[in-house]
């Protein structure tokens, strides 16, 4: 038996975030991912006359199978001076076919007087009549008490009366909303406890993150009697976002002992976070608690030594409980334990006292002083070690390259061309290629030269390219670090290069990315030089 109802509003409140714009297929894909993980309610959007995308979502969703979740349509109480029968957006909520309808209404007297510009009694009637109308149509109805905590602090008696109106209208859950996101956890606890003492209906919490308290406020509300939690994947939402279900759910389950998802589904949380991030076309936030790439990443040598002996010494939960993984980072802060861990991925039987450990540690520290970074470039680290051990076959040998960038007129787009001469297994190749920039042209020329010998190269795609200026005081003459991410469709690896010349730094990272990929696919064979 679950303790908490999980209500996801990524497809409505999350879509109000800056830079998020899901298509209908995107929304359906997210909804099915939420259904698969065991969310109870999925708020698909507000299917009103100004939102054809959300209306189309519900039209398509009606014909699809949902194994666990119920879809919820979102809307407002009837308009002032309009009957429920004549209110178009209430009719569209019914037409959506959603079995659950969530209605928001004003709980703050300021909004009633200054925004709706109706009397306090009229607002109560709008709430009760709207919910009763939808209830009579066979819908499960939830009431989102908008601005409830601000309203309670301004006029507690009236805020309670709005909940009474919703109760009379047939609401099956009263959701207390911190719409402005400015309440503090102790306020949420006190007010939720008072409301819980007044009502037998289930209470819910909908918190925004404007004061950085959304997650804490959700937990505090549950501690005070709420059994229904609303939030979004990754905390997406308008302004500073909503309560982050990827943080709130593991805290409820692992810290507070509240069952939120079906057994075993918490382990799918990291995948869900990344899946939604990808569909939102946003960069992953590596520092998210629980599901971020850095959530279980260890860098300091003493920390690494401890966590390798006893993980709980520096990990508050096992990473696999939320589908994440431990990462040991290599940097100039790395100690022997870090290097041992990395080297054992290459040499499983390596002893921590092997002389190679000290040699690699010394080289890594020296190279990072020059600007190299191996935290995000583990492929370059693996190749560095193989080269130190004399184990890396020469796949090709550079005999020179030239890169040209031309621009003849101010209005022209710069023109880039690269030529390259390399030798592979005794055969010399001299190739040229054009690109939208010098690095792109160089990449294309290298691929043209290598493909006849290494057709597996076709599978490798550069997926990210970053340049970091290392010493800003050096101006345009300073060293730069280039980080490249490459993928073969199954795995993604990082490589790096450092030089005062950005083309040389890019070339170094590019070559490492190619060599690592070819080695991975066993496409290498010793060249004759």
Cα–Cα distance between 246 and 6 in angstroms, integer? 12
- Whether 527 shows a pLDDT value over 80: the answer reads no
Decide if 57 is inside a domain: yes
Decide if 324 is inside a domain: yes
- Whether 471 shows a pLDDT value over 80: the answer reads no
Nearest to 231 by CA among 34, 97, 18: 34
Tell me which DSSP letter residue 414 carries: P
CB-CB contact of 257 with 33 (8 Å): no
Cα–Cα distance between 96 and 434 in angstroms, integer? 52
- Output b/e per residue, 50-78; b: 16+ Cβ within 10 A: ebeebbbbbeebeeeeeeebebbbbbbbb
Q: Are residues 309 and 227 in the same domain?
A: no
**519 φ/ψ angles, rounded to the nearest 5 degrees:** -65, -40
Domain boundary residue among 351, 366, 381?
Answer: 366
Bridge-based pairing of strands 5-8 and 228-231 is parallel
Mean pLDDT value across residues 4-20: 95
- Whether 199 shows a pLDDT value over 50: the answer reads yes
Decide if 34 is inside a domain: yes
Q: Are residues 328 and 189 in the same domain?
A: no
Decide if 442 is inside a domain: yes
Nearest to 339 by CA among 351, 323, 321: 351
Q: Are residues 308 and 446 in the same domain?
A: no
Decide if 270 is inside a domain: no
| Res 529: pLDDT | 43
Decide if 507 is inside a domain: no
Q: Are residues 313 and 360 in the same domain?
A: yes
**288 φ/ψ angles, rounded to the nearest 5 degrees:** -60, 140
- Claim: this prediction has a pTM higher than 0.85: no
* Position 470 confidence tier, pLDDT thresholds 50, 70, 90: confident
Decide if 247 is inside a domain: yes
Bridge-based pairing of strands 461-469 and 480-487 is antiparallel
| DSSP assignment of 361-407 | HHHHHHHHHTT---SS-HHHHHHHHHHHTT------EEEEEEEEEE-
Tokens of 265: 């589904």
Q: Are residues 48 and 99 in the same domain?
A: yes
Domain boundary residue among 366, 386, 412?
Answer: 366
* Position 337 confidence tier, pLDDT thresholds 50, 70, 90: low
pLDDT tens, residue by residue, 428-460? 999 999 998 899 999 999 999 999 989 999 989
Tell me which DSSP letter residue 244 carries: B
How far out from the chain centre does Cα 252 lie?
Answer: 20
| Res 476: pLDDT | 55
* Position 301 confidence tier, pLDDT thresholds 50, 70, 90: low
Q: For the domain that residue 418 is a member of, what is the CATH number?
A: 3.30.160.740
Nearest to 108 by CA among 213, 200, 180: 180
- Residue with structure tokens 């043209």? 448
Where do the DSSP E strands lie in 70-128?
70-76, 100-106
Mean pLDDT value across residues 24-28: 91
- Residue 122 host element (H or E): helix 120-136
Where do the DSSP E strands lie in 107-188?
140-146, 173-178
CB-CB contact of 57 with 48 (8 Å): no
| Res 234: pLDDT | 96
CB-CB contact of 429 with 421 (8 Å): yes
| Res 472: pLDDT | 53
Q: Are residues 169 and 228 in the same domain?
A: yes
- Residue with structure tokens 């092997």? 354
| Res 528: pLDDT | 46
pLDDT tens, residue by residue, 135-192? 999 999 999 999 999 999 999 999 999 999 999 999 999 999 999 999 999 999 999 9
Q: Are residues 192 and 249 in the same domain?
A: yes
pLDDT tens, residue by residue, 116-147? 999 999 999 999 999 999 999 999 999 999 99
Taking the CA atoms of the chain, what radius of gyration do you get in angstroms? 29
Tell me which DSSP letter residue 38 carries: T
What separation, in Å, do the N-terminal and C-terminal C-alpha atoms of the chain show? 68
- The tally of CA atoms less than 13 A away on the side-chain side of residue 241 is 16
Q: Are residues 361 and 230 in the same domain?
A: no
Q: For the domain that residue 258 is a member of, what is the CATH number?
A: 3.20.20.70
Question: CB 505: neighbour CB atoms within 10 A?
Answer: 23
Q: Are residues 358 and 406 in the same domain?
A: no
Q: What is the mean pLDDT of the chain?
A: 89
Q: Are residues 190 and 245 in the same domain?
A: yes
- Whether 497 shows a pLDDT value over 70: the answer reads yes
Q: Are residues 142 and 65 in the same domain?
A: yes
Cα maximum dimension of the chain: 90
Cα–Cα distance between 72 and 67 in angstroms, integer? 15
Q: How many domains, in total, are found in the chain?
A: 3
| DSSP assignment of 345-373 | HH-TT--TT-HHHHHHHHHHHHHHHTT--
The fraction of the chain above a pLDDT of 70, given in percent, is 94
- Whether 366 shows a pLDDT value over 60: the answer reads yes
Range of the domain at 420: 396-453
Bridge-based pairing of strands 397-406 and 415-424 is antiparallel
Mean pLDDT value across residues 260-269: 94
- Whether 106 shows a pLDDT value over 60: the answer reads yes
Q: Are residues 112 and 221 in the same domain?
A: yes
Cα–Cα distance between 275 and 10 in angstroms, integer? 13
Decide if 9 is inside a domain: yes
Paired with 499 in beta bridges are 480
Which comes out higher in pLDDT, residue 155 or 485? 155
Domain boundary residue among 235, 262, 289?
Answer: 262
Which comes out higher in pLDDT, residue 251 or 300? 251
Cα–Cα distance between 407 and 414 in angstroms, integer? 5
Cα–Cα distance between 447 and 472 in angstroms, integer? 33
């Amino acid at each position: 038996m679950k303790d908490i109802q999980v209500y996801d509003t990524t497809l409505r409140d999350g879509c109000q975030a800056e830079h998020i714009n899901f298509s209908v297929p995107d929304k359906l894909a997210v909804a099915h991912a939420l259904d698969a993980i065991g969310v109870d309610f999925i708020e698909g959007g507000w299917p009103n006359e100004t939102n054809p995308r959300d209306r189309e979502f519900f039209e398509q969703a009606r014909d699809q199978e949902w194994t666990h979740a119920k879809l919820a349509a979102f809307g407002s109480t009837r308009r002032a001076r309009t009957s429920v029968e004549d209110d178009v957006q209430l009719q569209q909520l019914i037409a959506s076919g959603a079995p659950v309808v969530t209605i928001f209404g004003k709980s703050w007297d300021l909004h009633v007087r200054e925004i709706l510009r109706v009397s306090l009694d009229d607002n109560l009637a709008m709430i009760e009549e709207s919910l009763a109308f939808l209830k009579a149509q066979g819908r499960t109805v939830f009431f989102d008490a908008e601005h409830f905590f601000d309203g309670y602090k301004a006029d507690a008696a009236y805020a309670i009366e709005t909940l009474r109106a919703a109760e009379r209208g047939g609401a099956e859950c009263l959701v207390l909303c911190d719409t402005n996101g400015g309440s503090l956890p102790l306020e949420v606890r006190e007010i939720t406890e008072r409301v819980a003492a007044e009502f037998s209906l289930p209470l819910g919490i909908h918190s925004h993150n404007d004061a950085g308290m959304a997650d804490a406020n959700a937990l505090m509300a549950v501690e005070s009697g709420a059994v229904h939690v609303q939030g979004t994947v990754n905390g997406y939402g308008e302004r500073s976002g909503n309560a982050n279900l990827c943080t709130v759910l593991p805290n409820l389950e692992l810290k507070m002992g509240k069952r939120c998802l079906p057994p075993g589904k918490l382990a799918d949380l990291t995948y869900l976070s990344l899946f939604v991030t990808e569909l939102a076309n946003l960069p992953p936030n590596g520092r998210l608690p629980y599901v971020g790439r850095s959530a279980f990443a260890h860098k300091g040598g003493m920390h690494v030594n401890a966590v390798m002996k006893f993980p709980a010494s520096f990990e508050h939960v096992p990473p696999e409980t939320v589908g994440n993984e431990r990462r040991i980072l290599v940097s100039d802060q790395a100690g022997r334990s870090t290097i041992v861990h990395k080297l054992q991925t290459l040499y499983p039987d390596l002893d921590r006292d092997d002389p190679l450990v000290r040699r690699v540690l010394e080289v890594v520290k020296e190279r990072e002083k020059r600007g190299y970074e191996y935290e995000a470039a583990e492929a370059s680290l693996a190749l560095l070690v193989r080269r130190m051990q004399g184990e890396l076959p020469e796949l090709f040998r550079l005999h020179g390259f030239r890169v040209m960038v031309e621009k003849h007129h101010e209005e022209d787009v710069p023109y880039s061309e690269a030529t390259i001469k390399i030798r592979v297994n005794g055969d010399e190749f001299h190739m040229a290629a054009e690109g939208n920039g010098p690095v792109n042209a160089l990449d294309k020329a290298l691929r043209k030269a290598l493909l006849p010998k290494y057709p597996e190269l076709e599978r490798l795609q550069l997926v990210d390219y970053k340049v970091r200026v290392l010493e800003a005081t050096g101006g345009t003459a300073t060293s730069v670090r280039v980080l490249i991410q490459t993928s073969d469709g199954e795995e993604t690896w990082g490589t790096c290069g450092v030089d005062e010349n950005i083309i040389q730094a890019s070339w170094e990272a590019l070559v490492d990315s190619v060599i690592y990929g070819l080695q991975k696919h066993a496409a290498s064979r010793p060249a004759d030089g």
